[in-house]
Amino acid sequence: MPLKIYAKRSNHFDVGTHQDDKTVRINSRNYTGSGNYIGFQCKPAQAANGADIKGAEISPRVNSGFTLSGSLIGAHVDAYLKGTAAGTITGDVRGLNIELVTDDGGTRNIGGNVSAIRIRAAFSAGTVTGKKAPIRIEKMEAQTGSEQWDCVLELPSTNAGVWNDAPGTAPSTADGYIKVLVNGNARYIQLYSSAPTD
């Protein structure tokens, strides 16, 4: 029987540390078996009619009037292949894996959007010295045996009408397209089979 710890019915269950320089740690340890492991799991399931449900909420803040000598980061995720000794990864290495899933034959109506990633900003500031961009991709850093990105975006198939590769209907100078919606209207980014000369 797994150990379960509950808060009093009238209270939230708070887990915290007394000192600012101490961290709440969950399963930060070495796994020495050869199975499939999960560091921690959170799977709330709505079992009655309700409103919103969130799997997790992360919201670090800087309170009014205080400064930071570093950065404010909402969440940090890294998949770290440690050391220099050989050890083949047969599958993928993924920094963040997002899946939208239904059971086969699902019939739910969804009144809003279905988005794998939604980026929202309501951001007032004084001077922002850097750039404001919804996605920023850094060049891979140089190190011994370092690799570099193959592309900015991979679409690993064709999806007629949405993105395509050499459909045979593009202008003679082009070879494929990516569909985007701008202000609710379909627009197409034209693709080419060779890069321009730098």
- For the segment 98-129, what is each residue's pLDDT rounded down to a tens digit? 999 999 999 999 999 999 999 999 999 999 99
What the block records as the tokens of 165 is 């590769």
Please determine, for residue 194, whether its predicted confidence score (pLDDT) is greater than 90. Answer: no
pLDDT, averaged across the chain: 93
Please determine, for residue 187, whether its predicted confidence score (pLDDT) is greater than 70. Answer: yes
pTM over 0.75: yes
Residue 36's identity, in one-letter code, is N
Q: Which residues contact 26 (CB under 8 A, 6 or more apart)?
A: 39, 40
- For the segment 67-90, what is each residue's pLDDT rounded down to a tens digit? 999 999 999 999 999 999 999 999
Rg (the chain; Cα; Å): 23
Query: Taken in order 97, 132, 149, 181, is the CA torsion positive or negative?
Result: positive
Q: Which residues contact 165 (CB under 8 A, 6 or more apart)?
A: 158, 175, 176, 191
Give the pLDDT score at 198.
67
Distance CA 20, CA 194 (A): 55
Nearest alpha-carbon partner for 186 in 178, 197, 175, 194: 178
